[in-house]
A and B are shown apart, each in its own frame.
Chain A
Amino acid sequence: MSAARPKAGRVFADGLLRNNPVFVQVLGICSTLAVTNVFENTLVMCIGLVFTTGLSNFSLSLLRSMIPGRIRMIVETLVIASWVIVFDIIIKATLPEISKALGAYVGLIITNCIVMGRAEAFALANKPLISMADGIANGLGYSWVLLAVAFVRELLGSGSILGARVLGEWWTNWNIMVMAPGGFFVLAILIWIVRGRMERNKEGAR
């Protein structure tokens, strides 16, 4: 992070593309990749992640001058876990069925490396609002990748998007897409495409 005050536009560009947490740092795919075989579940998980990164970055940045260095990590964990619980309660009250389908995975947002990583790298050194923007940008950067994976997996694996059948009866579902290996392969291919393009751009700039 540069010493100068970061601008919101730059923060978003970084989070969504240039420094995208999934492509560049390959962080935090664990908690969400498991639910990417159903697009709707992925969408809710991603909203949860954006909610948590944004708000935990905001609140930790507010506290940043007060947190004693020695217990920094545990305070971060406490704040992040609190926001995750708030999100969990909200979806339990409003979307009971999806909450049931997500099960343990909502809680696993706590250990998503992106949340803690952004708190450490950005929120503790910057002002609250810009920290919140950074959190949201990184959350969104992560979300679009995971949603792309979910789109491919649900389309090929179940022939549907958001539960609505898109491909006709002639389509034979690729069960491998619904099962775990499919997630690994789709993400790997996506990383290949995006990174390959990034490298070519770099060479072009040179």
Chain B
Amino acid sequence: MTEISVLSIFLAAVFTNNILLTNYLGMCSFLAVSSEVKASAGLGMAVTFVMAVTSVLNWIVEHHILVPLDLVYMRYIVYIIVIAAFVQLVEMIIERVSESLYSALGIFLPLITVNCAILGATLFIAIREYTLPQAAAYGAGGGLGWALAIVAMAGIRQKMARARVPRGLSGAGISLVITGIMALAFIGFSGMIRIN
């Protein structure tokens, strides 16, 4: 089988094949939270952490539990439960261990369970039949790419606050336009990285 190198999967997940800008995943929390840089950075960090770990966890579950037991059709339920349980666990640990970290990340964790980017990354990994290192690279890169997009977006939106926008377009509309332009800019990276 032809192998795609781990580094190029990571870089592609951050830039050229950004999960938010090319797959539209995680739009809900993206549009809701991206009005402030600090909150965006917190959410971005939380997403990166959860996505990186759950990608690996779900890969292990897929290859060591679901496939041997012929339970692949249950994949969606099992994945979402793993993600929910992990998020819950992290929330409990952070709450006990560090108060400052909890106040920075804690409020975002419940949002993450229903963030489609996390489940999406896991499903893409399963469907593209990545190996474990590839899955880890895709999970970490995907989360980082998402964080990058939301922080950049928050920065732009803060600048936009004083701009005059047509009434029907203000809010969600203009956010989508900005995201579209960002997606265009990210396509520009494609000459730089190529998976092969």
Partners in one complex: yes
Which residues of A approach B to under 8 Å, CB–CB?
A: 26-31, 33-34, 73-74, 77-78, 81-82, 84-85, 88-89, 103-104, 107-108, 110-113, 116, 176, 179-185, 187-188, 191-199
Interface residue? B84 (CB, 8 A): yes
Interface residue? B67 (CB, 8 A): no
Chain B positions 152 through 196: 1 when the CB is less than 8 Å from some CB of chain A, otherwise 0: 000000000000001111011110110111011001000000000
Is the pair B169, A188 in contact by a Cβ cutoff of 8 Å?
A: yes
Is the pair B21, A108 in contact by a Cβ cutoff of 8 Å?
A: no
Q: Given the interface contacts A81-B80, A89-B73, does A31 sit within 8 Å of B116 by beta carbon?
A: yes
Chain B nearest CB from A5 CB (Å) reads: 29
Q: Taking CB as reference atom, which chain A residue is nearest B78?
A: A81
Is the pair A110, B184 in contact by a Cβ cutoff of 8 Å?
A: no
Is the pair B176, A191 in contact by a Cβ cutoff of 8 Å?
A: yes
Is the pair A183, B24 in contact by a Cβ cutoff of 8 Å?
A: yes
Q: Which residues of B contact A85 (CB under 8 A)?
A: 73-74, 76-77
Within B1-52, the residues touching A (CB, 8 Å) are 21-28, 31
Can you list 21 A-B pairs, Cβ within 8 angstroms, ordered by A? A30-B25, A74-B84, A81-B80, A85-B74, A85-B76, A85-B77, A103-B127, A104-B120, A104-B127, A107-B79, A107-B119, A111-B115, A111-B119, A113-B114, A180-B22, A180-B187, A181-B183, A181-B187, A184-B180, A198-B168, A199-B167
User: Interface centre among B22, B25, B76, B184, by most A CB within 10 Å?
Assistant: B76
Q: Which residues of B contact A89 (CB under 8 A)?
A: 73
Q: Given the interface contacts A77-B80, A85-B77, A188-B176, does A108 sit within 8 Å of B183 by beta carbon?
A: no
Is the pair B84, A77 in contact by a Cβ cutoff of 8 Å?
A: yes
10 residue pairs, one from A and one from B, having the closest CB atoms: A196-B168, A184-B180, A104-B123, A188-B176, A111-B116, A195-B168, A26-B172, A33-B24, A181-B183, A30-B27
Is the pair B183, A27 in contact by a Cβ cutoff of 8 Å?
A: no
Q: Taking CB as reference atom, which chain B residue is nearest A112?
A: B116
Q: Which residues of A contact B169 (CB under 8 A)?
A: 188, 191-192, 195-196
Q: Taking CB as reference atom, which chain B residue is nearest A193?
A: B168
Besides the known contacts A77-B80, A107-B119, A181-B184, 15 further A-B residue pairs in the complex with CB atoms under 8 A apart: A30-B24, A30-B28, A81-B76, A81-B80, A85-B74, A104-B120, A107-B76, A113-B114, A181-B181, A183-B24, A183-B180, A187-B176, A191-B169, A192-B169, A194-B168
Q: Which residues of B contact A30 (CB under 8 A)?
A: 24-28, 116-117, 120
Q: Given the interface contacts A85-B77, A104-B124, A195-B168, does A188 sit within 8 Å of B116 by beta carbon?
A: no
Is the pair A88, B174 in contact by a Cβ cutoff of 8 Å?
A: no
Q: Which residues of B contact A88 (CB under 8 A)?
A: 73, 76
Is the pair A108, B84 in contact by a Cβ cutoff of 8 Å?
A: no
Q: Which residues of A contact B124 (CB under 8 A)?
A: 104
